[in-house]
Amino acid sequence: MLAVPTIAVANGQQPFTSPPLDKRSYRRMMIALLAAGIATFADLYAIQGVLPVLSRALEIGPSDAALMVSAATVGLAAGVLGWAWLADRIGRLASMRIAVAGAVVLSLASCFAPSFHTLLVLRFGSGMVLGAVPVLAVAYVHENVSGGRAAAAATAYISGTTIGGAAGRVIAGPLAPWIGWRGALLVVSGVCLVAAVVFLLLAPRSANPVRIRQPQLTRIRSALGRTVLLRLYLQALLLTSCFVAVYNFLAFRLEAPPFALSAALASLIFLTYGAGTLTSRLAGAWLPRLGNRRTTLIALTGMFCGVAVMTIDVLPVVIAGLTVFTGGFFLAHASAVATSGTASDPEHRGQTGALYNISFYLGSGVGGWLLGLVFEHAGWTAMSLAVAMTICLMVVVSGSGKDPGQVPHPGPAQRQGHDHARLAPPRELSGSLRPKVFRRDLQSHRGDVAPGERGFALDPDAPEGRLRLEDQQCT
């Protein structure tokens, strides 16, 4: 049984039953999210694998070529709030379907862009369209499942992003010297088309989508009103600045002395994304035991060691350092994505996801480009030092205040300053007070639960029979 069973006590009303997301639908959702991540990030980052070839073909410098990545990621950051607004009206899954289909069309158009500036505009538009997927994926997950299964589904999506990011770069990079950057991107667009079809066919509809009654501005204020979420936003901006800078400019370094690799060989560095696929899955297992802070500190330690090792001019050492750096990044990112979903209110998750993604992709588009200017003017060692200093700043940010992975979900009564009534464990309840079991998740389906209802939920990670109180009261 895949939805967390809930034991509820209604205030004068009988709870009702409704089937949870069944095993088959849950598996379909996991595969669909994996495909969505592949389609989105193969399209978004494939061009990063052909930057050296594109730079020579269009006769532009490395920092100008890197604007192709920045244009898409800034476009994504610009579009996420619009997608959050639209999703409140037509649904999260419907919005994601429109975005994935539209992104494939713009991806194909980019392959035939006649000029540098046209390509920049198309990349910006593609980013705006793709913004629906990362901003809505976690909220869509929480509409269907909760607890450990929600974390597993969220990290499945992150795994898809690592596979897509790696596949786009690894396919396009080696092909570009042979068939040109346009032909290489066209092949990747075909892969995105297949992944998009898988997502469109398999993603299950949400049986009980969260009903939103508050205006968007109110929900944005709420998503900005918690210190734990603000730290996650700042961490996202700094995290992706470091990551994109390393991957944007490492290929340029490897094509220059003392390595002097061909463009095809240099592009194979993106195979190290496999480390990210593994560590993003680890986040789902580590978060319940270690919390977000410890998981993130382990990740940042890996990133720091990796970028330090990459300053050594020995190719196997550089690859080893990049592997550790990549694994650390995706561990931190997956941890933050899962934590942002659980640390926000159900009605504010769309806006929380939007703000996280704005920070994440502004870091990619602006922070990564600024660090690239350091590379272009002062070299790899200077840029590595700047990245290491940024990682140290992230350690300070993530280590301050309460651990967002251990902050209880705030119900409406808590936000209004009221105390919840404490419910005794079921073994202490008797007679008319004994709760009845029904398969309903208060977080995922709060629109269908009676006002004032409280509940227990079985903790899948706890010893058999142990109950934990859902920190939730429906209004």
Beta-carbon count within 10 A of 206 CB:
20
Q: Are 139 and 341 in contact (CB under 8 A)?
A: yes
Which residues lie below 8 Å from residue 473, measured CB to CB, with a gap of 6+?
411, 412, 413, 420, 452, 453, 454
Give the per-residue pLDDT at 342.
77
CA 271 remoteness from chain centre: 20
The pLDDT tens digits for 27-60 are 898 899 989 989 998 998 899 889 989 999 988 8
Q: 288 and 461 in contact (C-beta within 8 Å)?
A: yes
From residue 458, alpha-carbon distances to 64, 139, 455, 464, 467 in Å are: 53, 22, 10, 9, 5
Residue whose tokens read 């079921």 = 426
Tell me the DSSP string of 22-46.
-HHHHHHHHHHHHHHHHHHHHHHHG
pLDDT per residue as tens digits for the range 149-192 = 777 777 778 778 878 888 898 899 899 989 999 999 999 999 99
Q: How far, in Å, CA of 428 to CA of 422, rounded?
A: 12
3-state secondary structure of 373: helix
Assess whether pLDDT exceeds 80 at residue 9.
no
pLDDT of 371: 93
Mean pLDDT of 88-113: 91
Alpha helices in 131-146 (DSSP H): 132-144
> Cα(433)–Cα(121) distance, rounded to whole angstroms?
63
C-alpha angle 250-278-296 in degrees, rounded to nearest 5: 80
150 touches 341 (CB < 8 A): yes
Q: How many CB atoms lie within 10 A of CB 142?
A: 23
Contact between residue 124 and residue 109 where contact means Cβ atoms under 8 Å apart: no
Over the chain, what is the mean pLDDT?
78
Contacts of 314 (CB under 8 A, 6+ apart): none
**Model pLDDT, residue 214:** 62
Q: What is the pLDDT of residues 200-252, one digit of tens each?
A: 999 988 766 655 656 667 777 777 878 888 999 999 999 999 999 999 899 88
Read off the pLDDT band of 471 (50, 70, 90).
very low
Those residues with Cβ within 8 angstroms of residue 230's Cβ, 6 or more apart along the chain or in another chain: 224
Question: Token digits for 286?
Answer: 């580590």
Condensed to tens digits (0 to 9), the pLDDT of residues 303-317 reads 999 999 999 999 999
How many Å apart are CA 287 and CA 259, to the nearest integer?
Answer: 39
Token pair for residue 218?
């109110």
CA gap 405, 7 in Å, rounded:
24
Residues 447/210, Cβ–Cβ less than 8 Å: yes
3-state percent breakdown (helix, strand, coil) of the chain, nearest 5: 75, 5, 25
- Indicate the residue type of 387: V
SS3 call for 454: strand
* Closest-CA residue to 334 (of 28, 37, 35): 37
- Is 8 or 431 the better-scoring residue by pLDDT? 431
Paired residues of 436 in beta bridges: 8
Query: For residue 364, what are the CA distances in angstroms to 144, 248, 394, 425?
Result: 30, 10, 15, 48
pLDDT band at 19 (very low <50, low <70, confident <90, very high): very low
Task: Quickly state the pLDDT bin for 1 (edges 50, 70, 90).
Answer: very low
**Model confidence, pTM:** 0.67
* Residue scoring higher pLDDT (395 or 455): 395
